[in-house]
Structure 1
């Protein structure tokens, strides 16, 4: 009889562990360096980052979301959730009204302070580098008590990226690339997650590493570097030749401009589960490999 009770206790413990209930309360450090104590696995979550929304859904936790930022639109199910603003216009009142037990925010801005005053717990994450994609996925797995799901997701993303990277490795050329986020112009450095994707697609980023992951640069730098390919994630391709000195750029003369907006922009710009699909876009742009 004693052995039977021990066996039942063990099985119950394994079940609770799988549900993320056995390790709470737990204290985790977010990407602002704050210690956040979670009394239980959060069940009513608001996300303020599209990449986080996609990551939670990829861990089969879409059902825990009660609200998302204005830009979260994947998977299809999140389009029906209440919208609570974005980075520049967060709607605190809308968030509080959803009675979340956790709001996942960006490390930029001071929204966490307003949430704290409203009595709502928050957890800040940052994903700027390629390695941050996997670190953040594992961290969110710990937040939700879904560590095994997070590990499976990490393995899946890495396998998908490797498959596309292997395809790119067949290309002999390594064209020079300028990647523009907006016409300011803001771009990407080699150490950003997009910069790593450029390298994995066998492109050479013209932006010097010392300028940082997402620098604002002088247009003259692009003229000086004369890239073979330009990648845009804004609808301004027609304006490029009008910039001083740009009409003679190799990329413009040879019509090697890849402009991505909408869903394709999302694939490239979100450091989340679909990053391999963004990489595939770059491989097609650089080498024409499907």
Structure 2
């Protein structure tokens, strides 16, 4: 090889190496990282977390989905997906977290909820916390991005968001052109509590091709008056069974009850539906199959 050609080859190699390095650094989180968490606190993550405790199942799932599962050293009692997190130490629930257990795991970051007093308790013990609390449909994507930034997995978080949106769009293509879009009441608790149209579950119900009978003015997860459901007369009732619905005063007159369109949600699907995380597309598909089974034959 001639000296000139050798120099050109060397120059190209240096440029390619430099470009790769720049691309990598551009996608990497720079620490210390300062942010405002969902408790409204100014928080600084000093370095890339290596030992994380997650106390919300949705955050646990997101961390694993963006390639940070190996960083988890403990999770809440309800985190059960993916399967590998079931082998991790359990630290209690949202309102009964075992603070001593969490501290014993020596986390360099605990990702908490904005509810409860865990952040305050751990703060007094010098344990770093960040409150990340996805609640709305949009939050699923923005909190995925935030978690990606916190754990230095921004590229993976972006890819996950894109894939989720693509999978959701595939279902929407089917349901958007459904001949009928039944009015629906979704019960999440027999008290009864339901879902408003602007909650993340309410958005999924609409995307599944149904029309929510709960007014947005009642909030995202309102306790509802059973008489309101009678008045709204939904064509479809989800989240309870026909026997239970029929036994309620006045409910036998509801169209959904008269036609037998009262469907309890399978346990696994119900769990996924309640988690604003990376399995949102699966939740939507499962719900759409119930609302419009004719579209998935």
Is this a same-fold pair by TM over 0.5?
Answer: yes
| Secondary structure, counterpart of 1:85 in structure 2 | coil
User: How far apart are residue 279 of structure 1 and its match?
Assistant: 0.9
Residue matched to 1:119: 126
Are the counterparts in 1 of residues 59 and 277 from structure 2 also a CA contact under 8 Å? Answer: yes
Give a deviation string over 1:58-116, Cα, whole Å, max 9, x none: 10111001111111111111111111111132111111111111111111122110010
Hey, what's the Cα distance between the residues in 2 that align with 1:12 and 1:279?
A: 39
Structure 1 length-normalised TM: 0.92
Hey, what's the Cα distance between the residues in 2 that align with 1:243 and 1:196?
A: 27
Q: 1:152 to 1:238 in 2, by over 3 A?
A: same
Are the counterparts in 1 of residues 184 and 237 from structure 2 also a CA contact under 8 Å? Answer: yes
Hey, what's the Cα distance between the residues in 2 that align with 1:190 and 1:157?
A: 20
User: How far apart are residue 186 of structure 1 and its match?
Assistant: 1.0
Give a deviation string over 1:222-272, Cα, whole Å, max 9, x none: 11101111111xx66532221111122111221112212431112211111
Q: 1:115 to 1:167 in 2, by over 3 A?
A: same
Q: Please give the residue correspondences for 1:1-290 in structure 2 after superposition, counting only pairs within 5 Å.
A: 15=24, 20=29, 23-232=30-239, 238-288=243-293, 289-290=295-296
Hey, what's the Cα distance between the residues in 2 that align with 1:131 and 1:179?
A: 20
Structure 2 length-normalised TM: 0.90
Of 46-55 and 235-244, the range deviating more from structure 2: 235-244
Are the counterparts in 2 of residues 24 and 38 from structure 1 also a CA contact under 8 Å? Answer: yes
Of 274-283 and 4-13, the range deviating more from structure 2: 4-13
Are the counterparts in 1 of residues 67 and 153 from structure 2 also a CA contact under 8 Å? Answer: no
User: How far apart are residue 136 of structure 1 and its match?
Assistant: 0.7
Runs of 5+ consecutive residues of structure 2 not aligned to the other structure = 1-10
| Secondary structure, counterpart of 1:283 in structure 2 | helix
Q: Find the structure with the greater CA-based Rg.
A: 2
Q: How many residues align?
A: 285
Runs of 5+ consecutive residues of structure 1 not aligned to the other structure = none
User: How far apart are residue 276 of structure 1 and its match?
Assistant: 1.1
Q: 1:237 to 1:25 in 2, by over 3 A?
A: farther
- Output the aligned Cα RMSD: 2.1
Hey, what's the Cα distance between the residues in 1 that align with 2:254 and 2:17?
A: 71
Hey, what's the Cα distance between the residues in 1 that align with 2:280 and 2:41?
A: 28
Q: 1:12 to 1:238 in 2, by over 3 A?
A: same
Of 260-269 and 91-100, the range deviating more from structure 2: 260-269
Hey, what's the Cα distance between the residues in 1 that align with 2:63 and 2:216?
A: 31
Q: 1:49 to 1:261 in 2, by over 3 A?
A: farther
Of 206-215 and 275-284, the range deviating more from structure 2: 275-284
User: How far apart are residue 8 of structure 1 and its match?
Assistant: 6.7
Q: 1:247 to 1:88 in 2, by over 3 A?
A: farther
| Secondary structure, counterpart of 1:28 in structure 2 | strand
